[in-house]
Structure 1
Amino acid sequence: MKTISKMYEHLNWANLRILETIQSIEDENQDVLRLFSHILFAEKIWITRLREMDSSRLPIWSDVDIEVCTELALQNEESFTTFLTKLEKSDLEKIISYKNSKGTEFKSSVRDVLTHVALHGQYHRGQINSRLRAEGIEPVNLDFITFVR
Structure 2
Amino acid sequence: MEEFFNELFDYNFFCNKQLIEACSDLKEVPKESMRLFSHILNAHQIWNARINGLESEFGAWDEHPLKTWEEIHYENQRNTFEIITNTDDYETRIDYQNIEGRLFTNTIQDMLFHIINHSTHHRAQILADFRANGLEPVSLDYVFYKR
User: How far did residue 78 of structure 1 move?
Assistant: 1.2
**Any idea what SS the aligned residue of 1:54 has?**
coil
Q: Distance in 1 between matches of 2:115 and 2:47?
A: 7
Aligned to 1:99: 97
Q: Distance in 1 between matches of 2:106 and 2:43?
A: 16
Identity %: 29
TM-score, normalised on structure 1? 0.92
CA RMSD of aligned residues (A): 1.3
Q: Is 1:52 paired with 2:53? A: yes
Aligned to 2:72: 72
Deviation per CA, 1:45-95, whole angstroms, max 9, x where unpaired?
00000112233x63100232102222211111111122212223xx11000
TM-score, normalised on structure 2? 0.93
Mind listing any 5+ residue stretches in structure 2 that lack a counterpart? none
Deviating 4+ runs (over 6 angstroms): none
Mind listing any 5+ residue stretches in structure 1 that lack a counterpart? none
Map residues 1-149 of structure 1 onto 2, 5 A cutoff.
1=1, 2-55=3-56, 58-88=58-88, 91-149=89-147
Q: Distance in 1 between matches of 2:127 and 2:29?
A: 15
Deviation per CA, 1:95-138, whole angstroms, max 9, x where unpaired?
00000001101000011111111000000000000011112211
Q: How many residues are matched? A: 146
2:97–2:103 contact (8 Å) kept in structure 1: yes
Amino acid at match of 2:68: V
Amino acid at match of 2:32: D
